[in-house]
Amino acid sequence: MLLRDRTIDRYAHSRPVIECAQCGEPVYVPEWSEYLDGHRARHLWRCEECGTSFETTVRLPSHAAA
């Protein structure tokens, strides 16, 4: 069904993709995530290609603080 395919495609494109700093392979899913406070979250990523681990910190919208 066309509508369903289009929805999945849009969802896939809206997902953040992190590139491994070591080998450049895309890493799609954080291995682990935690909320630091109401405004920030930290993600731990691990590249399946080379095994490099790294962290990113993202700022959440301020309305999430409530």
How is residue 22 written in tokens?
Answer: 């070591």
How is residue 28 written in tokens?
Answer: 């799609």
Stretch of residues binding Zn ion (CB under 5 A), selected from 1-9, 12-20, 33-41, 58-66:
12-20
Can you say how many angstroms the Cα of residue 25 is from the centroid of all Cα atoms in its chain? Answer: 14
- DSSP letters of 5-37? HHHHHHHHHHS--EEPTTT--EE-S-SEEEE-S
Stretch of residues binding Zn ion (CB under 5 A), selected from 3-11, 18-26, 33-41, 56-64:
18-26
Interface pick for Zn ion out of 23, 36, 58, 64 (rule CB under 5 A) = 23
Interface pick for Zn ion out of 8, 12, 44, 50 (rule CB under 5 A) = 50
Q: Which residues bind Zn ion (CB under 5 A)?
A: 20, 22-23, 25, 47, 49-50, 52
